[in-house]
Chains A and B, each alone.
Chain A
Amino acid sequence: MPSDALATSARPFAPRRSLIAQNPSVLWFLLALALFTLGVTVLAEMGLVSTSMVKTLGKTLCLCLVAVAMDVVWGYCGILSLGHMAFFGIGGYAIGMWLMYARTEIIVTTSLAAAPIPPTPEEIVDAVGTQIFGVVGSSEFPWLWAFADSLALQLLMVVLVPGLLALVFGWLAFRSRVTGVYLSILTQAMTLALSLWLFQNDTGLRGNNGLSGLQNIPGYDHVPQSTVSLVFFWASAAALAAGYLLFAWVVSGKFGSVIRGIRDNEARVRFLGYHVEHYKLFVFTLTAVVAGIAGALYYPQAGIINPAEIAPIASIYLAVWVAIGGRGRLYGAAIGAAFVSLLSSWFTGGGAPDIDLGFYRIQWTDWWLVLLGLSFVAVTLLAPKGIGGLFDLIPGRRTPDRQGDYGPDDGAWRREEGTE
């Protein structure tokens, strides 16, 4: 080793640099999110942003959260899970069950209160069952609904069910060292199985009717939807901020280093003594839990959840958002999810004007998916860093955290290349 390379002194050891100091982008992201939340709130209060728009934006924040989770599992750990929207959907079902039960119970109690003989608790439960399961020709409460009357327990289910499913599925898959495309296919199979199961009427989750009326918060009927929507919007923003901080912490430092190592060369990480499967399982499960929480915030804003939401394609969209936004950086995933999902609802909602080619009329409601597919291919081939890559163009940003000469010997990168 040329000894002159030692002449330049190394950067002194900097212990415990805070998360923010290490990743200034975390601060920028949280700042932008806070400003956005504030702006939307003010505009909504002034009546310039409609209630349905507030809901759309709140839902978008939930999608950003699940996209950030997806980025951790795929962009950082290299597991292309095409099943994370299933965990998102499970979170939605879990909270939806309580919303539907509690609200139906209130309605039933009020209507029975007028009856000459006060109803027994059993009668109330029966009436609630008839109300909820009438559409699938049943009135019995399935075992799945055992805790539906308790908000606390259903909130527990929001994290417990996706977490346990991810834990069991991941344990089986990672233990047999299923990787790459095979793992992706396996996760797709999991989502497909789940949605097919939910589509059945006798599953106990109302088949293809799904759960509805979720925008009505039990006991808060007197509160106008304009307020409810804002509260959920804030909750979604807070969840996104918390999730972002959590994942920024997870992917920074040594843990982040190990999972990026697993992404790039998992065999090498094994030879360093790390139990790769445990790391994958941890990341897979943690991100599934966050996806569940995101779903639990999303569906009360959407008002309805049905098995189609858990269809395999939903998870593929999630991967597309992250790819377009730029995987391997958390803000990229969030931007991708927001950008593509908003654009998607604009195109499919008939917002985009049709294009008349004379011989053919391009109707975006049909052609949007083609456009999305093409953009996905284009981004993958031409701009693998995605939208997030644009931030690298900001001059002066990311001054290389290094000093000394670049390339002390031949074959190393030149100074010009060293700045990336």
Chain B
Amino acid sequence: MTALLEVSGVSVTFDGFRAINNLSIQIGEPELRAVIGPNGAGKTTFMDIVTGKTRPDEGRVLWGERSVSLLRMSESQIARAGIGRKFQKPTVFEDQTVRENLAMALRNPRGPLAVLFHRKTPEGAARIESIAEEIGLLPALPRKAGELSHGQKQWLEIGMLLAQDPRLLLVDEPAAGMTPAEREHTTELLKRIARSRAVVVVEHDMEFVRRLDCKVTVLHEGSVLAEGTLDHVTRNQQVIDVYLGR
């Protein structure tokens, strides 16, 4: 396991408030990693930094074998480099069909001219259909994404993430709004993906995290409070105090 993503000594301040404080995290490939922590711990902000949405004040974010700095790249370059993201609040294109949403995410050339002259291929369609089947939205392919339920939108966004075929998947609270059966399906899916890729999952649901059965990082006030197996971190007194005990 080599480090695919290396975040070291990163800090971010919003109007004088330190949301991320000297944070260091390493993610290997393949790896499944759960990130937990109380509200406002900086979990989403961590993903914002990696995906280029937020620029840190200091620190390094290095990516891949050649250790390129992500801090100099734009959001779209980072995405093309192989980092995909699912947002905390499901953000799909509500005005477009499920098929269009997936087609847009599908791994293909991204330039305007390539897209303008893009022709649908049977392989692309087959891939969309297999993803749709995986996320249980096969019958919903021709429907507008805006008509989907909250849980289905979550699934669609996971599907878009799969369609991008990234090396690193950042998944922010995937199980919110899902039924227990769907949660189970999500865990299975994430574990399967993590066999060949790096997956970082932010989740509040401890049962969900337990089923992921992976290394856990606890964030608190913008830095790592504890790291290790779930049993290891849940025995940590500080973790109990700030997160579990409440």
Residue ranges of A at the interface with B (Cβ–Cβ < 8 Å): 1-3, 5-11, 13, 15-16, 250, 253-255, 257-258, 260-261, 264-265, 267-276, 278-279, 282, 401-413, 417-418
Contacts and interface: CB of A to CB of B under 8 A. Distances in A.
B91 A268 contact: yes
A411 B103 contact: no
B215 interface: no
Nearest to B82: A273
Contacts of B4: none
A1 B152 CA distance: 8
A250 B152 contact: no
B182 interface: yes
A13 B110 contact: no
Interface string B143-185: 1000111111001000010001000000000000000011001
Contact of A270 (B79, B95, B115, B121): B79
Given A253-B118, A270-B76, 15 more contacts: A8-B139, A10-B132, A11-B142, A13-B125, A250-B116, A255-B115, A257-B96, A265-B93, A272-B79, A406-B143, A408-B140, A409-B152, A411-B151, A412-B147, A412-B148
Interface string B121-142: 1100110010011011111111
Contact of A254 (B104, B129, B155): B104
A328 to B, nearest CB: 9
A42 to B, nearest CB: 39
A178 to B, nearest CB: 16
A273 B118 contact: no
B137 to A, nearest CB: 8
The prevalent SS among residues of B at the interface is helix
B141 A10 contact: yes
A279 B94 contact: no
The 3 closest A-B pairs by CB, nearest first: A1-B136, A273-B79, A402-B142
Contacts of A3: 136
B119 interface: yes
Contacts of A265: 91, 93
Contacts of A401: 142
Nearest to A279: B112
A328 B104 CA distance: 19
Contact of A271 (B79, B96, B115, B141): B79
Contact of A15 (B100, B120, B185): B120
Contacts, number: 136
Nearest to A10: B138
Interface in B61-76: 74-76
A269 B91 CA distance: 10
B19 to A, nearest CB: 19
Contact of B75 (A253, A267, A403, A409): A267
A212 to B, nearest CB: 40
Contacts of A275: 74, 76, 110-112
Contacts of B150: 411
B139 A409 contact: no
B11 interface: no
B33 interface: no
Given A261-B104, A265-B91, A274 B110 contact: yes
A27 B30 CA distance: 52
B4 to A, nearest CB: 18
A403 B96 contact: no
B124 to A, nearest CB: 9
Contact of B118 (A254, A264, A270): A254
B191 interface: no
Contacts of A15: 120-122, 125
Contacts of B91: 265, 268
21 contacts: A1-B182, A6-B133, A6-B136, A13-B122, A250-B116, A258-B104, A260-B93, A264-B93, A264-B95, A265-B91, A268-B87, A271-B84, A272-B160, A272-B164, A273-B76, A278-B112, A402-B142, A402-B143, A403-B139, A417-B147, A418-B143
A301 B112 CA distance: 36
A257 B100 contact: yes
B101 to A, nearest CB: 8
Given A258-B104, A279-B112, A404-B140, A268 B149 contact: no
B53 interface: yes
Contacts of B105: 272
Nearest to A406: B147
A7 B138 CA distance: 10
B80 interface: yes
A13 B120 CA distance: 10
B104 A278 contact: no
A10 B139 contact: yes
Contacts of B142: 11, 401-403
Contacts of A409: 149, 151-152
Contact of B110 (A273, A407, A411, A418): A273
Nearest to B118: A254
Nearest to B177: A411
